[in-house]
Amino acid sequence: MRNRLPSRATRSVGLVATALLMAGCASQTDTDTDPAAATGAVASTTAVEATTSTSTADVAETGGGSSAPFPADTATDVAEAVDPDGLTVTAVRAAAHEGFDRVVFELSGSGTPGWSVEYVDAPSAQGSGAAIDVPGAAYLQVTLQGTSFPYDSGAEELARAAVPVSGTDVVQGVFYDATFEGTSAAVIGTATRAPFRVYSLTGPSRVVVEVATAG
Residue 153 C-beta-side C-alpha neighbours within 13 Å: 21
**Alpha carbons 143 and 108: distance in angstroms, whole number:** 16
CATH topology for 73-212 is: Immunoglobulin-like (2.60.40)
**Alpha carbons 145 and 72: distance in angstroms, whole number:** 22
> Is residue 97 within 8 Å of residue 67, measured between CB atoms?
yes
Q: Which amino acid is at 199?
A: Y
Q: Which amino acid is at 202?
A: T
**Alpha carbons 129 and 47: distance in angstroms, whole number:** 50
* Residue 68, C-beta contacts closer than 8 angstroms, at least 6 positions apart: 99
Measure Cα distances from 77 to 128, 139, 140, 187, 206 in Å.
24, 14, 11, 14, 16
For 124-181, how does the pLDDT look when each residue is reduced to its tens digit (9 = 90+)?
Answer: 999 889 999 999 999 999 999 999 988 888 999 999 999 999 999 999 999 999 999 9
83 CB neighbour count, 10 Å cutoff: 10
What confidence score (pLDDT) does residue 184 get? 97
pTM of the complete model: 0.70
Domain assignments of the chain as residue spans, ordered by start:
4-57, 73-212
Which percentage of the chain shows pLDDT scores above 90? 61
**Alpha carbons 37 and 27: distance in angstroms, whole number:** 12
